Structure 1
């Protein structure tokens, strides 16, 4: 009779949280679509600011959410569908930049706030208010990841 060693996790084994878990947004699929349609919880805003290293005012500017709107959403406890979509777009771009810089938050945040030649010397963080601009930023990140500079 042979015995098998079976791995049993101990209480000291830590589960590594994904980026999407840290910010409180489903990564993809039906749960993401439902969350965006119903409105993301207000806490997502603070979590995104913390994870990205941005000031809350910088995040508000990037996602085109006015301070008066933020105050109303804080009371309501959630964002509307359009605001949720803009927050998600920011999260998607930030996550892609984070992957580009191999998990270095500082470098990813600096890149977002710096003029980028491939975007006509615009700062990526200034190009997140429309889906077309967001797509241009994501496309550039994809090209950079694959070594395509033109």
Structure 2
């Protein structure tokens, strides 16, 4: 996801979000993940109409929207690494119930920072063979 030019370290990411995230990043993320815009909007908890309006008036996403997009990108990077950059398997995994998320589908929890973090932690546990 480095092609999105999203900062990796927390302080730079914070400053990037505060400066205002361009709504076009959602379109680019959908393209990178080979999925539709609506799905990425749902994952980030941002309506398509909001993204379209922000693009039309050339306004950045709100700070909370930018933070949600950042969390989704981090989680997608983790899941992509789990599936060796296979976007089809990644998107499929996001929509299956996960035991480590109490039976919730990862896609259901990505719209909050803590939900995205839970998905990232789950991926780490899977990669390290931790089942509990």
Please give the TM-score of this superposition, normalised by the length of structure 2.
0.89
What is the SS of the residue equivalent to 1:40?
A: coil
Relative contact order: is structure 1 or structure 2 higher (C-alpha 8 Å, sep ≥ 6)? 2
| Greater radius of gyration (CA) | 1
Query: Shift in Å at residue 77 of structure 1?
Result: 4.1
User: Structure 1 stretches of 5 or more lacking a match?
Assistant: 1-18
Query: Which structure 1 residue ranges, 4+ long, deviate > 6 Å from structure 2?
Result: none
Give the match for residue 34 of structure 2: 53
Give the match for residue 8 of structure 1: none
Query: Shift in Å at residue 26 of structure 1?
Result: 2.0
Residue 24 of structure 1 pairs with residue 16 of structure 2 = no
User: Structure 2 stretches of 5 or more lacking a match?
Assistant: none
Give the match for residue 64 of structure 1: 45
- What are the superposed Cα offsets for residues 25-79 of structure 1, whole Å, 9 maximum, x if unpaired? 2222543222110111122111111112221111111111123311221122421
Give the match for residue 105 of structure 1: 87
How many residue pairs are counted as aligned between the two chains?
131
Residue of 96, 99, 104 corresponding to 1:122: 104
Please give the TM-score of this superposition, normalised by the length of structure 1.
0.79
Task: Please identify which structure carries the higher helix content.
Answer: 2
Give the match for residue 87 of structure 1: 69
What is the SS of the residue equivalent to 1:68?
A: helix
What is the SS of the residue equivalent to 1:65?
A: coil
- RMSD of aligned Cα (Å): 1.5
Residue of 105, 121, 124 corresponding to 1:142: 124
What is the SS of the residue equivalent to 1:98?
A: helix
